[in-house]
Structure 1
Amino acid sequence: MSLRIGCVADDFTGGTDVAAAFRRAGLRTALVFGVPDADTALPADCDAAVVALKSRSAPADEAVADSLAAQHWLWDRGAAQTFFKYCSTFDSTPAGNIGPVTDALLDAAGAPLTLACPASPPNGRTVYQGHLFVHDQLLSESPLRHHPLNPMTDSSLPRLLAAQTRHRVGLIPLATVRRGVAAVRDALLDRRRDGVRHVIADALTDEDLAVLGAAALELPVVTGAAGLAEGLGRAYPATPHPTAEPRPPAGRAAVLAGSCSARTLEQIAHFRAAGLPTHHLDVLAAAVGRDVAGEALAWYDAQDPDLPVLVFASATPDELAAVQQELGVAEAAAQVEALLGALAVRLVRRGTRRLLVAGGETSGAVTTALGIDAVLVGDEIDPGVPWTHTGDLALMLKSGNFGAPDLFVRALRPVPVKEPM
C-alpha cells in the first residue's frame, strides 16, 4: 500500500504530535527521524508517514534542503499531498524557517498557494482575526515570549509570516470558516486570484479545523499544526487495518527531560511530589569535564527497578540564564543534548524499555543517539503525546509544553506482566 499523505515536521516532538493527530483521524502512521535515505523502511500498511527533522532552529538554507529531501522521499513512496508541520505557537525568527520552507515545498510541487493554520484547540492554541492565542492570552503575552531560542513577541500571524516570505499573505476569517467547506474553498480561489500565496485561516475549535481540512484536501501542500493535520486526515476515506496495535512493554521506565518549559517544570515537580526518584544533571560541571553522566548512571543503578525514574537537565528561567551566561546559548544546548543522548543509550542497555523524553531538541538527541530511524505510532496518553514503538522499546517524545502536570506519573505506571497460560 502506498502512502496517502506525507508530512514534513520541523522538530521531533512536533513530528510525534502530528503523527498522533493522523492516527486519531484513523490513519495508520509511521514516524521517521531525520532525513531518510533509500534504505529507510516504513512499517507495513501505513497511510501516512511523518518525517521529523531538526529544522526549526537550523539555518534557513539547511532547513529548506532537508525539507525538500524529505518531501521527495515521501513522493517516492506515493504521497500525493505534503503537510508541513510547525509548532502550534509558530515559533520562528524573522528570517524563517516557516516561510522559506513553505515556499520551497510549494515551488517543488508547482503549487500556487497553501492554507496555513497553527491552531490546536486541545492544547489551548487558537487563531482569531489572524492572531494566535495560547489559552486566553495572546501569544506575545504568553510564556512563549520568553522562549529560550525563539522568543515570540508578536501575535499577528500575517505579520509574522510576511517577514519570512516575499509572497503575499492573506487571511480567511472565522465567519467564512463557519459558513462551511464550500465557503472556504471559494475564499481560497479568491485569494489565489488576488495573488496571495500563504492563506492564514482562523480556527477556534476542532470543528473549524475539520472544515479547513476538508477544504484543503486537494491542495498539494498544506501547512499548520497537529489540529489541521487531524482535520485533513479525517477528510480522507477510512481504510481498515487488521494489524494489531503494539502496546508498551514491561520493564524499567525512565524520563529524560531537557525542556525548560513551564509545563515540563510542573511535570518534574509533580513526579517529585509523588515520591518518585529524580536526579538533576549539573550542566556546568559536565562542561568542565566532570563525569556527570556516569554519576547519573550510578544513581540509576541504585534505584528500585520497579519504580520509574527521572533524570533532568531542565531549569527555571533564572537557572537557565545563568548557565547560558556561563557557556553561551549554543554550547549550553549542546551540553544538554550530548548528556541526555548518551544517557539514553546506556539506560536502554541497562534494560529500560519505556523511555519518556521531554523536549524537542532533547528528543532529537535521544533518537539520534539510539540510532532509531522509524517508529510506529501508538496510543496517546495526552493530546499530542503518544507512545511510539520500535522493536522491544517504547518511546514517548513529548513537546516541552504538552501534557498534563501528572503526565510522567500516569505514562510510566508499572505495566503488568502477563502470566503464562
Structure 2
Amino acid sequence: MLGIVADDFTGGLMIAGYIEGAGIACPVLFDKSELNAIEPAGVVVVATRTRLIPAAEAVAEVDDIAGRLDAAGCDKVAYKVCASFDSTDDGNIGPVADLLARRYGQSPLLLSAGFPRFGSTVHQGYLFYRNRLVSESIKRFDPLTPMTDPDLVRVLSRQTSAKVGLLPHAVLHAGYDAAQAAIGALSGDGVDYIMVDCSDDSDARLSARLAAPMRTTVGSDAHIIAVAQAVAEKSAAGATPVPAHADGPAAVLVGSVGPVAMAQLGAFAARYPVLTLDLLDERPEEAIIDEALRWAGTHMGDAPFAVTTADETEAVERAQKAHGTLQAARKAERLLAGIARGVVDRGVRRLVVAGGETSGSVVEALGVRRVRALPESELGTGFCIVETPLHLSLFLKPGKLGADDVLLRAVDAMHA
C-alpha cells in the first residue's frame, strides 16, 4: 500500500486521476482523520496545504500524516510536490525531505521534479518550464514562490543541510544498472539526497523503479504517478465505479493570477457574466462576500457565472503592496471560500475552481473530507465527485495549466 502526501489539493487530485485511469481506486482525503477508517487499498492520497505554510508547521503536518499512513498499513510513503518544484529558500521541500529521511532511515533519498507532458522537465539538474529555463518563464513571476534559480541541486541545498547530488539524464539513459551504480557512488561520497533528472517520461519510469525498494521518496507528478503505477501493478485492489456527476447550477471561482488565468477568464467572459472582486476594497470581508452573493443570485440558473479576484498585473501589484504578497493571496482565498460556501448553500452543485491554494480554501470551507477523482479526460485531470455532506461535482485546476477555454469546457463536462 502506498500513501501519498500531496503538498496542495489540486496536485493531489491530479495524480489521483491518473492512478484511477490506470484501473485502481485511489481515494483522495482532504481530512487526515479519514485515514482512521480507510479500507486497505493499493494507493491513497492525502491532500494538504503544506506548500506555503511555515516550514515547521509543514513538517509537523507531514509527520502526523505519515504516522497515520503507517498505522493504516502503508509500506511506502511519498511526498508529492509541484512539477516546477515551487518553494522558497525557507522550504518547504527540504525540511519535509529531512523529516522523511530521518523518520524512515532513508539514505540516500531520491527526489524528482518535472512533468514532461505539461512542458516541465529537468535536464542536467536544470528545470525548464514550457521549453524555457524556469528563471526565464512565467514561473519567475509567481507571487508566492517565484522560481528564479533553475539549478535544482542549488535550490534544494538552500533548504537543507543535507548534501545534495545529481543523477543526470545521460546516466539514466544508460539504464538501470548504470543508474544503480551511480547512486552507490554518490552515496559513497556522502551524498544524502539525490536529485534525479526528468528529461522525458522514460526518466520518470526509471526513477520510480530506482525508488521501488525505498521506504520513502519525494517527487512531482511524473515520478509519483510512476511510483503509484508500479504499486498498483502489484496490488490486488481493483477500481470501484466512481459516482456520477451532480446535477444543478454551475459556478466558476478563479483565485489564480497571471497571464494564463486572465486568458481563461477572458474566454469565459465572452459568453458568461464575470464579477471581479477588488482586493483593495476596504469594507469588511463579510460585506464583500454578501454583495457578491447578491450578484450571484441574479445570475444563478441554467447558465454558469464566475467570480474572481484575478486582475491585470498592475492591480495585483497594488494589492500586494497594500497587504503584503502572502496576505493579499490569503484575503483572496477567504473571499472566494466564503462565496463558494454561499453559492453552494443557494443550490450550486457544479463548481470549477482555478488555483491550488484557492481550491484548498474552497474545499475546507465546504467541509469536503473525501472525494473520488475521475480518470484523465480530454481536459486532463481535476474532476472529482463529492458524495457527503452534499453530492457535488468539482473541477479543481492548477492556476497555470489549461487552454484558454478550459473553464468553459469544464463546466460543460460536469453533467450528470
Alignment partner of 1:84: what SS?
Answer: strand
Question: Could you tell me which of 330, 349, 366 is aligned with 2:326?
Answer: 330
Report the alpha carbon displacement of residue 287 of structure 1 after superposing the two structures with TM. 4.5
Corresponding residue of 1:339: 335
Q: Please list the CA deviations of residues 244-269 of structure 1 after superposition, one character each: whole Å capped at 9, or x if unmatched.
A: 22232221111111111322222111
Question: Could you tell me which of 202, 213, 224 is aligned with 1:218?
Answer: 213
Q: Judging changes above 3 Å, is the alpha-carbon distance between structure 1 residues 309 and 224 closer, same or farther for their aligned structure 2 residues?
A: same
Is the 8 Å Cα contact of residues 253 and 355 (structure 1) preserved in structure 2? Answer: yes
Corresponding residue of 2:252: 255
Is the 8 Å Cα contact of residues 250 and 411 (structure 2) preserved in structure 1? Answer: yes
Q: Normalized against structure 1, the TM-score is what? A: 0.92
Is the 8 Å Cα contact of residues 382 and 395 (structure 2) preserved in structure 1? Answer: yes
Corresponding residue of 1:276: 272
Is the 8 Å Cα contact of residues 357 and 397 (structure 1) preserved in structure 2? Answer: yes
Larger CA deviation: 230-239 vs 249-258:
230-239
Is the 8 Å Cα contact of residues 13 and 397 (structure 1) preserved in structure 2? Answer: yes
Q: Normalized against structure 2, the TM-score is what? A: 0.93
Work out the number of aligned pairs and report it.
411
Are residue 73 (structure 1) and residue 68 (structure 2) matched?
yes
Whole-Å separation in 2 of the counterparts to 1:290 and 1:39: 34
Q: Please list the CA deviations of residues 218-238 of structure 1 after superposition, one character each: whole Å capped at 9, or x if unmatched.
A: 111111111111211222315
Q: Judging changes above 3 Å, is the alpha-carbon distance between structure 1 residues 221 and 240 closer, same or farther for their aligned structure 2 residues?
A: closer
Whole-Å separation in 1 of the counterparts to 2:40 and 2:340: 30
Are residue 367 (structure 1) and residue 363 (structure 2) matched?
yes
Are residue 18 (structure 1) and residue 15 (structure 2) matched?
yes
Corresponding residue of 2:264: 267
Is the 8 Å Cα contact of residues 112 and 219 (structure 2) preserved in structure 1? Answer: yes
Is the 8 Å Cα contact of residues 35 and 72 (structure 2) preserved in structure 1? Answer: no
Whole-Å separation in 2 of the counterparts to 1:165 and 1:31: 29
Q: Please list the CA deviations of residues 349-383 of structure 1 after superposition, one character each: whole Å capped at 9, or x if unmatched.
A: 12211111111111111111111122111133467
**Counterpart mapping for 1:270-309 below 5 A:** 270-273=267-270, 275-285=271-281, 287-288=283-284, 291-303=287-299, 305-309=301-305
Corresponding residue of 2:392: 393
Report the alpha carbon displacement of residue 150 of structure 1 after superposing the two structures with TM. 1.7
Corresponding residue of 2:308: 312
Corresponding residue of 2:142: 147
One-letter amino acid of the structure 2 residue matched with residue 243 of structure 1 = T
Q: Judging changes above 3 Å, is the alpha-carbon distance between structure 1 residues 212 and 51 closer, same or farther for their aligned structure 2 residues?
A: same
User: Which 5+ residue runs of structure 2 have no aligned equivalent?
Assistant: none
Whole-Å separation in 2 of the counterparts to 1:340 and 1:49: 28
Identical-residue share of aligned pairs (%) = 35
Q: Please list the CA deviations of residues 204-223 of structure 1 after superposition, one character each: whole Å capped at 9, or x if unmatched.
A: 22222112112211111111
Is the 8 Å Cα contact of residues 99 and 165 (structure 1) preserved in structure 2? Answer: yes
Report the alpha carbon displacement of residue 296 of structure 1 after superposing the two structures with TM. 1.8
Is the 8 Å Cα contact of residues 248 and 387 (structure 1) preserved in structure 2? Answer: no
Question: Could you tell me which of 228, 249, 258 is aligned with 2:223?
Answer: 228
Is the 8 Å Cα contact of residues 16 and 384 (structure 1) preserved in structure 2? Answer: no
Q: Please list the CA deviations of residues 143-176 of structure 1 after superposition, one character each: whole Å capped at 9, or x if unmatched.
A: 1111101211100000001111111111111111
Corresponding residue of 1:6: 3
Q: Please list the CA deviations of residues 289-319 of structure 1 after superposition, one character each: whole Å capped at 9, or x if unmatched.
A: 6722222222222226111221111122211
Corresponding residue of 2:344: 348
Q: Judging changes above 3 Å, is the alpha-carbon distance between structure 1 residues 76 and 156 closer, same or farther for their aligned structure 2 residues?
A: same
Report the alpha carbon displacement of residue 68 of structure 1 after superposing the two structures with TM. 0.7
RMSD (Å), alpha carbons: 2.0
Is the 8 Å Cα contact of residues 20 and 380 (structure 1) preserved in structure 2? Answer: yes
Alignment partner of 2:299: what SS?
Answer: coil
Question: Could you tell me which of 68, 91, 103 is aligned with 2:86?
Answer: 91
